[in-house]
Structure 1
Amino acid sequence: MSDLKTGALHAMLTGIAKRYPGAAIASSMQMEDMILTDVLARLKLPLAVFMLDTGRLHSETLAMVGRVKERYGIEVEVYQPQETKVKQYVQQHGLNAFYESVELRKSCCGIRKVEPLARALRDRPAWITGQRRAQSVTRTELKLEDFDPTHGLPKFNPLTEWTDAEVRAYISAFDVPVNALHARGYPSIGCEPCTRAIKPGEDPRAGRWWWESSESKECGLHVIPIKQESHA
């Protein structure tokens, strides 16, 4: 892990905190998000960390909330989907209807992830993600700093140019807590029924929505989503 990359990450997060105090890191409890959380804690930055609990996450992912609190003293803000919307979807389509079509899968993501994200970002001055270009063919044009028109606020991707090796090197160098699923072949972690371990040589996101083509493998969090009903 180069000191140059680590220094640039420190500088970027410090700059974001100064420009947008109260900005938040959107964490899926993957290695990338844990690196951002580690830097936040080391530099004592005025940034928040939140997670979207979809109701279908692995127990290993949910356990990370406690590990972050234990290691860093950080309370992760947890946002859940609207129970009535989840029930309506299940009653109308079935619990695992997302396997049937991309449309039904994105509808499920809209209820369990996109709408809760809107609530998580409400009144935030900016948000920060752990996205990297190397993660997927859908992220090759990822920028370090962008503007999210859906939520109307700046969006930062500080690890945009980091390689897989650099991520692993940082984790090792600073003994950062990691999701146990990573050691079981899950480089990309989402909901339990929509994520599988990958085989050697497969694309890092091959385990996400593995029944779909690679071009459709986004949930709506990082693209302009279908408008969802908003409820306080």
Structure 2
Amino acid sequence: MPMKNFDTAQLAADYAKQSPQKILELALEHFDNLWLSFSGADDIVVLDMAWKINPNIKVFTLDTGRLHPETYRFLEQVRKHYGIQIEALSPDHQQLEAYVREKGLFDFYENGHGECCGIRKIAPLRRKLASVDAWITGQRKDQSPTRADVPVIERDAAFSTAEHDLIKFNPLANYTSEDVWNYIRMLEIPYNPLHEKGFISIGCEPCTRPVLPNQHEREGRWWWEESTQKECGLHAGNLIAKS
């Protein structure tokens, strides 16, 4: 189906209560230039679902250069387990070197994580998404206050341009953390071993820590900042557009 005939708002309403698999089937049916974003955390569930529909699913990950060793090993485990290629997106080395030279390796503790994430995550992601028609994420409404209204399908307000509409699929939007872990345990799919050490939401090593009992999962990310600021920018533009 041509992009101009893909009624995002109507399909978002029609599929709002559908299963993740149905949403993925819709995405895979209508978009050839479709990529799945895999972080090496609990979005292994959406990767597993998509791979079972189409084992040729195209997958990318953001290699910030600051991930945990366990995450790097997990990415390799997933690559071999599913027999897929995982395209690793890296930061622009000149931009990164200039930032580190000027502000050091831990500037984000004093001045917020925005600039570091902008270089290590957002810029590589923007380059990638400029060349695709649609992408799939593992976002869930229960992950943080900023994601409470995440739709299952949307026009990506953060990365679309006047010349290029980008469609974003969030098949797990209505899943809870319990749903995710029931799926992982029931189907015995691989998962990041950091989860066994109290890490729930997993990002870069300096900005991620385990959470205590009854803490929300995003409290382990950028813990020195307010809960309403716990987005790296990958999805923030879409969330702002809805507020």
Report the TM-score, using the length of structure 2 for normalisation: 0.85
Match of 1:182 among 192, 195, 200: 195
Q: Specify the alignment match of 2:167 in structure 1.
A: 154
Question: Which residue among 140, 150, 153 is the counterpart of 1:142?
Answer: 150
Distance 1:69 1:127 in 2: 19
- The equivalent residue for 1:107 is 115
Query: Is the contact made by 1:114 and 1:220 (CA closer than 8 Å) also made in structure 2?
Result: yes
* Identical residues among aligned pairs (%): 41
Which amino acid is 2:52 matched to?
A: R
CA deviation string 1:142-190 (max 9, x = no partner): 1111111232101111001111111111001111100011111111000
Equivalent residue for 2:40, pick from 23, 29, 35: 29
Structure 1 residue 63: Cα displacement: 1.1
Q: Which residue of 2 aligns with 1:229?
A: none
Measured on the aligned residues, the alpha-carbon RMSD in Å equals 1.4
**CA–CA separation in structure 1 for the residues paired with 2:67 and 2:225:** 20
> How many residue pairs get matched?
216
| 2:158 counterpart SS class | coil
Distance 1:147 1:45, change over 3 A: farther
Which residues of structure 2 form unaligned runs of 5+? Answer: 1-17, 161-165, 239-243
> 2:35, 2:136 within 8 Å by CA — same for their partners in 1?
yes
- TM-score w.r.t. the length of structure 1 is 0.89
**In structure 2, what is the Cα distance between the partners aligned to 1:30 and 1:150?**
23
3-state SS of the aligned residue for 1:24? strand
- Determine the structure 2 residue equivalent to 1:67: 77
Match of 1:17 in 2: 28
Residue equivalent to 1:89: 99
CA distance in 2, matches of 1:169, 1:224: 31
Secondary structure of 2:29's partner? helix
Shift of 1:191: 0.4
Deviation at 1:64, TM superposition (A): 1.9
